[in-house]
Amino acid sequence: MNRLNTIAIDIGHNANYDTGAVGIRSEDELNKLVGEALIEKLRGAGINVVNCTPSNATSLHDSLNQRCIVANNSNADFFISIHHNTGGGEGAEVLCLSGGLAEEVGNAILNKLEGIGLKNRGIKERKNLFVINNTVMKAILVECAFCDSEKDMNNYNEEIVAEAIFEGVCKIFDIDYTYVIDGENGDGKGLCHMVVSGECLSGIARKYGTSVEKLVEINGISNSNLIFVGQILKIK
C-alpha cells in the first residue's frame, strides 16, 4: 500500500524570474487558483501539505531550486507541480519519469480530469525537468489545461479541476475523500460531499448510509435527478 502522510505541492511559476505562459488567461493565475484549492482539499482530508512555492527568487534556477529544497526537507512522500500549458493544443497531460508510482498517480489524475471534460493527452516522459530531477520523492508535473485554448478556458473552474486532481491522488493512496467543511448557514461543521462526474443522488445516499429523501430535504433540492458536478451536498 502506498502511504501518503505528507505531500509537496508546487504552484508553478509565480516568482521573480519565473513567469508562466500567457494565453486567454495567465498561467500564473491559474496555477495559483488550482494549486491553492488543491492544497485546501488535501489538508481537509487530513494530509500534511507543504507548499513549495517560493515567495521570492533571484533567478529562474533559484526559483526552481528553492521548490526542490523545501520539498526535500519536508520528507514528503510525493511531489506535484501544478502548471497550465500553451502552444495550441487542448486538454491535460502529466510530465514525469515513466513507470511506477509517478505514472500511476499521473494516470489516476488524468482519468479524473478526463471525467470533467478535459482531453486526456496522457503521460509524457520528461527526463529534463528540474523539479522532477532534483526532488528525492516521486514527482509529477500536471499540465492541467491549455491557457490559450478557448475550449479549455471556456467556463474553466479551478475548484472542479483541483477536485479532480485531489480525487486522483486519493484513489492511488487509498484516502477516503469525503471531507468536512463549514456548514453554510452558520450551523457549524458537518459532513459534506462534493458531487463528481457520474454520480447520482441514490449512489451518494448509499455511500453515506442515508436516503435520497433525507439528502433532498436537508439540501433543499427540488429535482432529485438534477445534481451537478462540483455541487456540495450536506450529508448530515
What is the smallest separation between the CB atom of 73 and Zn ion, expressed in angstroms?
23
Nearer to Zn ion, 32 or 83 (CB): 83
What is the smallest separation between the CB atom of 13 and Zn ion, expressed in angstroms?
6
Nearer to Zn ion, 42 or 131 (CB): 131
What is the smallest separation between the CB atom of 142 and Zn ion, expressed in angstroms?
10
DSSP string for residues in the chain? ----SEEEEEE-S-BTTB---BSSSBHHHHHHHHHHHHHHHHHHTT-EEEE---S--SSHHHHHHHHHHHHHHTT-SEEEEEEEE-SS--SEEEEE-SSHHHHHHHHHHHHHHHHTT--EEEEEE-S--HHHHT-SSEEEEEEEEETT-HHHHTT--HHHHHHHHHHHHHHHHT----EEEE-TTS--EEEEEE--TT--HHHHHHHTT--HHHHHHHHT-S-TT---TT-EEE--
What is the smallest separation between the CB atom of 178 and Zn ion, expressed in angstroms?
32
Nearer to Zn ion, 146 or 166 (CB): 146
Euclidean distance between CA atoms 226 and 118, whole angstroms: 22
What is the smallest separation between the CB atom of 83 and Zn ion, expressed in angstroms?
4
Nearer to Zn ion, 77 or 148 (CB): 148
What is the smallest separation between the CB atom of 186 and Zn ion, expressed in angstroms?
40
Question: Quick one: residue 184, left, alpha or beta (phi over 0 = left, psi -120 to 50 = alpha)?
Answer: alpha
What is the smallest separation between the CB atom of 195 and Zn ion, expressed in angstroms?
30
Nearer to Zn ion, 83 or 119 (CB): 83
| Interstrand relation of 78-85 and 6-11 (parallel, antiparallel or unpaired) | parallel
Nearer to Zn ion, 81 or 173 (CB): 81
When CB distances to Zn ion are compared, the closest residue is 83
Q: Interface with Zn ion by CB under 5 A: which residues?
A: 12, 20, 83
Nearer to Zn ion, 27 or 77 (CB): 27
Euclidean distance between CA atoms 126 and 130, whole angstroms: 10
